[in-house]
Amino acid sequence: MKVKRYIGNDPQETMLKIKSELGSNAVILHSRKIKKPGIFGFMKKPLIEMVAAIEENKEKQEKDALRGRIGLSGTNAVHSEGNKIDLLQNQVGNIENLLNNVLNKIGYSQDDKEDSQETLYKKYHDLLVLNDIEPELADRILAIVRKQVSFAEGHEEAILKTIRIVVREYLETPETIGDSFEKNKVVVFVGPTGVGKTTTLAKLAAKLSITKGKRVGVITSDTYRIAAVEQLKIYSEILSIPIRIVYEPTEIAEAIEAFSDRDIILVDTAGRNHKNEEQLKEIKALLENIKDPEIFLVMSATTGNRDMASIVKYYQFIQSYKIIFTKLDEAVTVGNILNAKLQTGKKLSYITTGQSVPDDLEIAHPDKLANMIVGEIHE
């Protein structure tokens, strides 16, 4: 009797090794799952070990019979194609029966592969949700990923890469103020209290003035906070940018007219409680007195998903706007940026990453944001 030990990554691979060497009459004497050798072997998927045996006479008889059947024994036996097909089908049947017996013996089911895929799918779904991606959106992302790459062990690098690509495509190309605009362009910043509208405006004013060489004017209607007005006055003095203050929405047209020599006019509005309808009416009245304004909704990346959804809902009276996200340096996760992007259908524009003026203002590049969102998973 010939006895030999075989090792494979799974039962199918191990059985194929046995069949190719010992033939279909081999008998499985023992089978078990074993760990891969090495320090980190306990972390890997176990291997399948099988001990198989075959009577040497039977092995020889089988090989001789096989040669005779397919015309390789040197005799004049000729068989039809149908006989050859029957022979192959019988051999496949023997392998299948032997394999099923072994699978049942070691407790390995056909559902194991699907279970493994579902486990990996759940892992990345949970990690996306942990990064503040809404569960439904996480499902959408992974459904697309699943069409591109198999959720199987050993494919995790490809899975991560594909997730990152899908997130990047969802974020889209940002839209900024840009260089191509006519003189006297009016840009208005709106948003809830405490998100950093005034500082963001100052950063943009500095970049447009210093980097782009634009003649900038600043208007503030945030007379509810003395500190905000004083802050803008300091920046305007440093940058040599003129500033005007308006106390009523109807005064905005006159202030804009006073800046007729300016290339671009940046308008700071008072932070408003998005749940207060009366306060939002003031923003509406201000916008109605501005001809063709370019509007930026400023939100903080530290805002939770539910609050951000509420903010977006209350500013939906503005049909056209772009989004600026502030305080990315303070946010633990930034998946809420993607949530807001898809909820509003609006373009992202800028992000801020600190208090430094004007350095901590960047274009919201989708590659960087995708890396920030998915990068947490990779680590």
Q: For every one of its 379 residues, what pLDDT tens digit does the chain have, with 9 covering 90 and above?
A: 677 888 888 887 888 888 878 877 777 777 888 876 654 455 567 788 888 887 766 555 555 555 555 444 444 444 455 565 556 656 555 666 666 565 555 555 545 556 667 888 888 899 899 999 999 999 999 999 988 888 777 778 888 899 999 999 999 999 998 766 778 899 999 998 889 898 999 999 999 999 889 999 999 887 666 676 788 888 888 889 999 999 888 999 999 999 999 999 999 987 766 566 777 788 889 999 999 899 999 999 999 999 999 999 989 899 999 999 999 999 999 999 999 999 999 999 999 998 888 889 999 999 999 999 887 554 4
Q: Kindly list the strands in the beta sheet with 264-268, ordered across the sheet, starting from the edge strand earlier in the chain.
A: 243-245, 216-220, 264-268, 185-190, 294-300, 322-326, 348-352, 361-363
The three-state secondary structure class of 77 is coil
Note the CATH architecture for domain 185-363: 3-Layer(aba) Sandwich (3.40)
- For residue 87, the model assigns a pLDDT of 61
Is residue 325 within 8 Å of 348, Cβ to Cβ?
yes
Every domain of the chain and the residues it spans: 2-106, 112-171, 185-363
**Residue 291 vs residues 188, 315, 367: alpha-carbon distances, Å:** 11, 19, 34
Q: What angle do CA 315, 316, 321 make, to 5 degrees?
A: 80
Q: Kindly list the strands in the beta sheet with 47-54, ordered across the sheet, starting from the edge strand earlier in the chain.
A: 2-8, 47-54, 27-34
- For residue 116, the model assigns a pLDDT of 67
- For residue 294, the model assigns a pLDDT of 94
pTM of the entire predicted model: 0.68
Q: Which residues of 189-203 are buried (b: 16+ CB within 10 A; e: fewer)?
A: bbbbeebbbbbbbbb
- For residue 56, the model assigns a pLDDT of 66
- For residue 58, the model assigns a pLDDT of 53
- For residue 231, the model assigns a pLDDT of 81
E strand spans, 9-97: 27-34, 47-54
214 Cβ contact list (under 8 Å, min separation 6): 208, 263, 264
- For residue 154, the model assigns a pLDDT of 73
- For residue 76, the model assigns a pLDDT of 47
Is residue 245 within 8 Å of 238, Cβ to Cβ?
no
- For residue 73, the model assigns a pLDDT of 45
- For residue 32, the model assigns a pLDDT of 82
- For residue 65, the model assigns a pLDDT of 56
Beta strands at 294-300 and 322-326: parallel, antiparallel or unpaired:
parallel
Phi, psi of 317 (to 5 degrees): -70, -20
- For residue 34, the model assigns a pLDDT of 82
- For residue 309, the model assigns a pLDDT of 93
**Residue 40 vs residues 80, 119, 379: alpha-carbon distances, Å:** 54, 21, 19
- For residue 378, the model assigns a pLDDT of 45
- Token readout for 132 is 């503040």
- For residue 379, the model assigns a pLDDT of 44
